[in-house]
């Protein structure tokens, strides 16, 4: 087994151990399983962003290249926190038209182009129900769970052609969120990956083609980046079909050990709210399921609470019992 495979497995194990401890601490929370998973994913995303900016500071990164920028939120936040510069690339022309009409920071350059491993034109697939509303799901690839797309012809180019000179200026990081094309974008970024100024990569990945048909697996992306001296150190929620990995250079690993260790400790300490519900009636339903309240006999005290919260079934049960008495 290669070094990168061992490191990848270690990150996987660290994630499972941390999140298993977090789930153990939160196992009695009164909420649906799907809501619990969503909140864990949300919480780990916040911690991923926290370690990202801690690494930006410790590695003295001054610039960012954002791939799949949408409204360039990441670039704007980076500029606000670091006073650095950003290049942002967005393939969707509907998104670009809307965002480019807004005021732009002087340190942000925002371009309408799809990133690929070649220069030319390609069809951007936009979910048919999201054509005009700036969908985050537009991609040059096809998602397994979306069946109807409209196609828009766009210009594509490599990151090397578009951003190499920018990367040469100062220490830089890459933020890659390109809806199933991370591997393809990296194929067109070899000169940038070889640049000493490129210090960190934040990239959305998947395992085993679960989401996008043609995307490389996270392990294969890790193998590709290892050729340029990058190794994974952190990942967010492991039960999500799409998740994110952070890579840094081998020489930066020793000095980043404390930050990485603290990241996993914080993941293990995630605490989610006791209740997660959309309405009082939802809460009533969850409580009944959680505590296995029977409709036959007993539980009047609980039913009175639930009836007050709006549970129609508890109100009916109390009415029937009152009548029977």
The number of domains in the chain is 2
* Residues 311, 208 within the same domain: no
Q: Which of 33-37, 153-157, 217-221, 288-292 has the lowest mean pLDDT?
A: 288-292
pLDDT class for 280, splitting at 50, 70, 90? low
* Residues 189, 318 within the same domain: no
Residue 138 burial (10 A CB sphere; 0-12, 13-18, 19+): buried
User: 238-242, 243-247, 269-273: which has the highest mean pLDDT?
Assistant: 243-247
Cα separation, 1 vs 9, whole angstroms: 10
Position 275 in a domain: no
The answer to whether residues 87 and 65 touch, using CB atoms and an 8 Å cutoff, is yes
Q: Is the dihedral of CA 183, 175, 201, 240 positive or negative?
A: negative
* Residues 155, 297 within the same domain: no
Would you tell me how many other CB atoms lie within 10 Å of the CB of residue 11? 22
pTM: 0.82
Cα separation, 304 vs 108, whole angstroms: 58
Cα separation, 230 vs 268, whole angstroms: 25
DSSP code of residue 118: S
Position 54 in a domain: yes
Structure-model confidence comparison of residues 139 and 243, the more confident one: 243
pLDDT per position as a tens digit, 167-184:
999 999 999 999 888 999
Cα separation, 315 vs 323, whole angstroms: 12
Residue 324 has pLDDT above 90, yes or no: no
Position 93 in a domain: yes
* Residues 163, 296 within the same domain: no
**Residue ranges making up the domain that contains 18:** 3-268
Residue 289 has which token pair? 């399921």
In the three-class reduction of DSSP (H, G, I as helix; E, B as strand; rest coil), residue 26 is classed as coil
């Amino acid at each position: 087994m290669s070094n990168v495979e061992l490191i990848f497995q270690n990150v996987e194990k660290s994630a499972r151990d941390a999140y298993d401890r977090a789930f153990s601490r939160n196992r009695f929370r009164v909420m649906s399983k799907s809501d619990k998973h969503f909140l864990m994913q949300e919480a780990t995303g916040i911690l991923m962003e926290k370690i990202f900016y801690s690494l930006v500071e410790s590695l003295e990164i001054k610039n960012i290249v954002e791939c799949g920028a949408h409204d360039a939120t990441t670039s704007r936040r980076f500029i606000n926190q670091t006073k650095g510069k950003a290049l942002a690339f967005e393939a969707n022309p509907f998104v670009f038209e809307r965002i480019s009409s807004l005021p732009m920071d002087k340190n942000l350059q925002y371009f309408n182009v799809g990133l690929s491993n070649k220069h030319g034109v390609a069809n951007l697939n936009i979910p048919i129900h999201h054509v005009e509303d700036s969908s985050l799901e537009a991609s040059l690839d096809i998602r397994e769970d979306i069946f109807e797309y409209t196609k828009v012809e766009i210009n594509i180019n490599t990151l090397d052609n578009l951003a190499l000179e920018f990367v040469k200026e100062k220490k830089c990081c890459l933020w890659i969120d390109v809806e199933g094309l991370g591997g393809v974008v990296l194929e067109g970024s070899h000169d940038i990956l070889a640049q000493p100024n490129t210090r960190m990569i934040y990239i959305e990945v998947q395992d085993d083609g679960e989401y996008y048909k043609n995307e490389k697996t996270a392990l294969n992306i890790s193998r590709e980046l290892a050729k340029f001296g990058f190794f994974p150190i952190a990942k967010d929620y492991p039960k999500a079909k799409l998740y994110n990995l952070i890579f840094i250079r081998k020489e930066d690993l020793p000095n980043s050990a404390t930050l990485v260790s603290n990241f996993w400790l914080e993941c293990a300490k995630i605490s989610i709210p006791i209740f997660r519900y959309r309405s009082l009636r939802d809460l009533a339903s969850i409580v009944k399921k959680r505590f296995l309240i029977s409709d036959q006999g007993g539980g009047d005290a609980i039913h009175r609470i639930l009836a007050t919260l709006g549970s129609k079934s508890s109100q009916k049960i109390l009415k029937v019992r009152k009548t029977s008495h």
